[in-house]
Amino acid sequence: MNQNGNPSGTEVSRAPRPWALSRFGTALTRLWTKTGPGWTKVLGASALFLLVWICYQPQLPGNFIWDDRLVLKGLNPLLTGELTPWSIWFQTDFVLANFAFWGEWLVWGDHPLGYHIVNLLLHSLSACLLWRLLARLSVPGAWFAAAVFAVHPVCVNTVARIAELKNTLSLTLVLLSFLLYLRSESGMNAAVQPAGPGRLRWPGAEFGWYALALLAFVLALFSKTTILTLPVFLLLSAYWQRGRLVPEDGFRTVPFFILALGFGLMSSWFQKHQALAGETLPPVSWEDRFAVAGHDVWFYIGKDFWPSGLSVVYPWWHPAEAVASAWLPLLGVGLLLVTGWHYRRTWGRHLLFGFGCFTVALFPALGFIDAQFQTWFQVSDHLQYLPLIAVVALASSVLAARLPRAWFSPVAGVILATLVVLSSQQARVFATDETLWQDTVAKNPQAWMAHNNLGVILARQGHLPAAREQFEASLAAKPGNVAAQVDLGHLLALQGDLGGARELLQAALRNKLANVDAHENLAQVLAQLGDLRAAKTHFQAALQCEPKLNTRLQLASLLFQTGDYANCAWQYRQTISGEPDLVEPLNNLAWLLATCPEDGVRNGLEAVRCAEKACALTHYQHPGALGTLAAAYAEAGRFAEAVKTCRQAIDLSESAGNASFSAINSQLLRLYQMGRPYHAPPAPNRTAS
């Protein structure tokens, strides 16, 4: 007993103290748990930031690559206007990442450098948090392990892509949650005492740290739900430290498991009904899923220890092609775990902790749960961004513990220098879309997606023959893939092969009926072939798939050509209702309402309103808009204004050297001077509609 009447060695439970979110800042400053001068921690963190900067400097100032723009803006419901900051919660996946993209777009706009810097900072911060986490767990070589993670080439697929902010953000938050949990646990182990039969009393001070850990975990789940494996890590950590689990471990992790289960079910629903909506994954038996999972585990471990030949798209592995040996990788995983359990009282416990954390963290990427990534990849480097930590920590700790002190520093230096060089080379690959896809097709000629994406780039550069080769290679690698069929069909149309383009686009629609690009491109081809009725049908189908502005304008133009003036006017009004400040639909609708040959469609007053707005948007310096406004004034009976405006249009067109437009308006001017509006003749193709 001590002087206060408490058993010796037992810490007195402190009275609960109120805390608020302001303690979050205090929490961050107290995570440096190892004793030692503060300047060494600052120096260590600075070195990690510097190493990351050196690795990724070849990529900067950076570009939007691959799906960066699509994920940043095109699929972000906050930027598309589908959801608001208040309604987005539990309505989609990656909520916090979408919030981050929304905020970044307000700051950086269309400049990629800022987005890349944010990713680099988050990756560097994760490396620092990993260092402090391993130090708190007394793992040998903690800083070295964090440095290896910071500069590992496998991480480039995540850090160099703006779209993978969800990866870097969720990792930072989950490491912070782990650290805060351990901070609360250190106090609970001494202070949690029975408060009656079968009950526990939880001191308020430690509960504050625990609540912050839960908060960080929730934020991480809102960033990316694949980090839901954290509660398993917490149990493995407790077992690794003590060699056993106690009831308090289960009690403390129950809320984490409940959150993980809830978010996991929600994410699974989102993947099936949102991300995979309209997509069908090929059927795979459970036997094949287990065989592939075993192969994937060893594939990732191989890339962790020998990061050579890294690619955005790796060849697929099919168990049927290796029937005799298909189960060997999975048996190897089981054997390793059994060996660790057998020697659990000595070195096996370390193996169980490291390899167990790796396999658990990798589980969401092993193909047992249907997800969108499976339409493109079987394995991908960005899917092991979190699992990589376990392998790195285990290998680094073995080196630090087994190598003599005199040998460890030079060996560690050589390893880090090698990884920095490899990561710099990989970052250079991710500098542009062209270098990314050229590298991919060179390493994996069967990467149909890479061939197709490279073909699109070459076509935009005007290298149509080279682009055609890439599209054909994509179809050879995966016959019937819709993306290559649509892109090759569009290219054939550009080259004048309208018949070949029609066949390919029709084949694409047979494979996927709800493909907006296939419908739109086929409509353009059919219009050029003179089949206006079929072209109209496909434009309408494209609008049903996705109401794109350009598609609606093309349909309106086709309706005008076929004499369907009322529907043409309706399409323009629909466009203007969504985009009220676009000059083209305003001008076209005004011209139609002023000059339409059908009396029931013409509307002089509305024509004047639309034309005046189009002229205001062009500061009354566009001869076409002024010519339309003159026609609208004439239809409304305001001939003096029509004459004056028409003369302005003639003067501007003559100044611009547009003699043909000047001549047309000179003829219209004579009509207006006679007090007559201009009404266009009926469309010659009216019967085609």
pLDDT tens per residue, range 40-76: 888 889 999 999 999 999 998 889 999 899 888 888 8
pLDDT tens digits, residue range 215-236?
Answer: 999 999 999 988 999 999 999 9
pLDDT tens digits, residue range 375-390?
Answer: 888 899 999 999 999 9
- Tokens for 34, please give them: 């190892």
Per-residue CA distances from 623 to 506, 632, 645, 650, 655 (Å): 41, 14, 10, 7, 10
pLDDT tens digits, residue range 661-676?
Answer: 889 999 999 999 999 9
Question: Would you state the pLDDT for residue 245?
Answer: 87
Question: Would you state the pLDDT for residue 684?
Answer: 64
Is residue 210 within 8 A of residue 184, CB to CB? The reply is yes
Question: Cα(522)–Cα(679) distance, rounded to whole angstroms?
Answer: 33
Is residue 168 within 8 A of residue 121, CB to CB? The reply is no
- Tokens for 298, please give them: 């060893």
CB burial of residue 323 (10 Å; 0-12, 13-18, 19+): exposed
Question: Cα(365)–Cα(689) distance, rounded to whole angstroms?
Answer: 52
Question: Would you state the pLDDT for residue 190?
Answer: 44
Is residue 605 within 8 A of residue 572, CB to CB? The reply is no
Question: Would you state the pLDDT for residue 282?
Answer: 75
Per-residue CA distances from 181 to 79, 186, 205, 209 (Å): 35, 9, 13, 7
Question: Would you state the pLDDT for residue 545?
Answer: 87
pLDDT tens digits, residue range 510-525?
Answer: 988 888 999 999 999 9
The model's pTM is 0.82
Question: Cα(299)–Cα(441) distance, rounded to whole angstroms?
Answer: 20
Q: Half-sphere exposure of 125 toward its Cβ, with a 13 Å CA cutoff?
A: 17
Question: Cα(479)–Cα(482) distance, rounded to whole angstroms?
Answer: 9
Question: Would you state the pLDDT for residue 205?
Answer: 53
Position 197 pLDDT exceeds 60? no
CA R_g for the chain: 32
Percentage of the chain exceeding pLDDT 90: 61
Question: Would you state the pLDDT for residue 323?
Answer: 67
Q: Cα 74 to the chain's mean position, in Å?
A: 10
Q: Compute the average pLDDT of residues 275-292.
A: 76
- The answer for residues whose C-beta is within 8 angstroms of residue 21's C-beta and 6 or more apart is none
Name the residue with tokens 């990061």: 307
Question: Cα(657)–Cα(669) distance, rounded to whole angstroms?
Answer: 19
- The answer for residues whose C-beta is within 8 angstroms of residue 562's C-beta and 6 or more apart is 532, 536, 683, 685, 686, 688, 689
Helix (H, G, I), strand (E, B) or coil at 389: helix
pLDDT tens digits, residue range 90-120?
Answer: 888 888 999 999 999 999 999 999 999 999 9
Q: Compute the average pLDDT of residues 402-420.
A: 91
Is residue 155 within 8 A of residue 423, CB to CB? The reply is yes
Q: How confident is the model at residue 369 (pLDDT cuts 50, 70, 90)?
A: confident
Question: Cα(276)–Cα(267) distance, rounded to whole angstroms?
Answer: 12
Scored b (16 or more CB within 10 A) or e, 645-671 reads bbbbbbebbbeeebeebbeebeebbeb
CB burial of residue 203 (10 Å; 0-12, 13-18, 19+): buried
Nearest to 252 by CA among 195, 196, 209: 209
The torsion region of residue 530 among left (phi > 0), alpha (psi -120 to 50) and beta comes to left
Q: How confident is the model at residue 198 (pLDDT cuts 50, 70, 90)?
A: very low
Question: Cα(428)–Cα(55) distance, rounded to whole angstroms?
Answer: 9
Q: How confident is the model at residue 246 (pLDDT cuts 50, 70, 90)?
A: confident
Who has greater pLDDT, 497 or 24?
497
Q: Compute the average pLDDT of residues 407-414.
A: 91
The DSSP secondary structure of 97-130, one letter per residue, reads: HHHHHHHHHHHHTT-HHHHHHHHHHHHHHHHHHH
Of 142-146, 240-244, 397-401, the poorest mean pLDDT is in 240-244
Question: Would you state the pLDDT for residue 201?
Answer: 47
Is residue 517 within 8 A of residue 486, CB to CB? The reply is yes
Domain ranges in the chain?
38-193+200-280+379-428
Nearest to 71 by CA among 97, 89, 32: 97
Task: Tell me phi and psi for residue 193, to 5 degrees.
Answer: -130, 155
> What's the whole-number average pLDDT of the chain?
86
Position 28 pLDDT exceeds 50? no
- Tokens for 64, please give them: 């939007």
Question: Cα(622)–Cα(480) distance, rounded to whole angstroms?
Answer: 47
Q: Compute the average pLDDT of residues 71-95.
A: 83
Q: What angle do CA 335, 338, 339 make, to 5 degrees?
A: 85
The residue count of the chain comes to: 689
Sign of CA dihedral 209, 212, 217, 220: negative
- Tokens for 479, please give them: 């016959």
